[in-house]
Structure 1
Amino acid sequence: MIKNWYCFGVAIVLWLICMWLTMPFPDALNIERGVSVLNVLIKTKDGYQIEGLLTILLLSICLYFLIYGVKKHQIFWSLALIVSFVFVPSLIVNAYQNTLATGINAVSYDIDKSDCRFKLEDDYTLKGTCRLPLQNLSTEEVTLNLEFYETYWYEDDVRSVSLMNAGLPYEVKLKGKQKKWVRVETLIDVSQLENHIEKGTVSGVHIIINGGGKIRRF
């Protein structure tokens, strides 16, 4: 199966480096808005991302060495390498969180199911309500504080979820192995604010959690 052990070994080393560079931990993967290739963020509003471009370059070199390292079925091995590059890092993180992780390192957040709803109560008061699916994957209770942030792609994007920080602090307690829909609600004074949301729903809510001296971004 192996035609050139040197090329094959180089491919494996580069594959491991690429996976390490894209490991979605402690922060979630691609917490900024932008252009991604194979889950690698290569461009944001600030321009091209050197680390992302380097990762794609290393992955391309890895494929080159892999093709010359195996005797046959090069297409199969190339596809297997790409698929594993995309999915294996998340599997590793999940395994770690379910076994060795403690504190906020054991907390997972399903950003795709989160949302915040906004509605003007009067001319100067905005009501915000957010639903955030959090899960403690460890067996020990975890106490954390959370806050909100948002990423902008255009300079004229309106403020939305970051307005929820008017109600800080938000403390959350999760029992061992508990999966919980955290509901956060607050009234926001918008009398001095410009370019803010007035009504609607925002999905995919970005949050920051902190506890035990550690910080994670989703």
Structure 2
Amino acid sequence: MIKNKASVLTAMAIFLICMVLYFPFPENKLSEARTSFMSFPITDNDGFVTLGIVGSVLYVSAIVFLVRGLKKYRIRLVILSMFAYALAPTAAIWLYQLTLASGVYALSYDDRSECTFESEGDGHIYATCDLEWKNHSRDDVSFTLEFLDSPYDKQFPPEEFLKGSYPVTVEAKGSQTVQIEDEIERPDLKGEFNGAASGFLRIKVTDGDSERRF
């Protein structure tokens, strides 16, 4: 099955390097990508991502080395390797969070979270955000939350309205919807703004010296 052991080992080493380059923990850098290939951001708001392009080239070279090193079942084993590469980070993060992680490092965030903004056109805006969290640890996790610039919603970005720091606690061992409410005075939008909704929220959580971005 293996024709050239050195080629197969080289492929495995390059796969490992690729995984380390953009390992999606504690932050997932793909959240800022506009285009991506496998686990590599190719472009973001600032243009092309050099390291992401290098990682993509390395990934393709790993596939080439793997094909050269195999004697039989090349297509099957390449596809299996690609699936393993895609699933390994998720499995490693899940295992870490389930066993060793604590504080904000034990949290998972669901991108389906959403903020809604309502107004009667008088410059007074009522904001409600429903944020979906999962705490993998056995202890409650408390932190402060801030909204970051979002590349997705340019018309009514949530960070434009929600500029404060909000205290949040997620209970131990379970999923929880955390609701953040705020009232914002925006007289500059009087008569222009009646309401909006934003998804794909980007947020920063902080607990002492620990910080994560989702």
Partner of 2:125: 126
DSSP-derived class of the 1:215 partner:
strand
Q: CA deviation at 1:29?
A: 4.4
Aligned 1:47-86 pairs, distance under 5 A: 47-86=47-86
What are the ranges of 5 or more consecutive residues in structure 2 without an aligned counterpart?
A: none
- The answer (yes or no) to whether the contact 1:118–1:197 under 8 Å persists in 2 is no
**TM-score with structure 1 setting the length:** 0.89
Rounded to whole Å, the distance in 2 between the matches of 1:88 and 1:71 is 25
Q: Which residue of 2 aligns with 1:109?
A: 109
Amino acid at match of 1:63: I
Following superposition of structure 1 onto structure 2, how do residues 32-181 of structure 1 map, counting pairs within 5 Å? 32-111=32-111, 113-152=112-151, 157-166=154-163, 168-181=164-177
1:124-154 Cα distance to aligned partner (Å, 9 max, x none) = 1122111001111011221111111232369
2:205 paired residue number: 209
Post-superposition CA distance 1:33-87 (Å, at most 9, x none): 4011224211112111012111111101100110011111111121122222222
Counterpart CA distance in 2 for 1:28 and 1:130 is 22
1:34/1:41 contact within 8 Å kept: yes
Runs ≥4 in structure 1, deviation > 3 angstroms?
none
Unaligned stretches of 5+ residues in structure 1: none
Q: How many residues align?
A: 213
- Identity %, equivalent residues: 30
Give the superposed CA RMSD.
2.1
2:120–2:194: 8 Å Cα contact kept in structure 1?
Answer: no
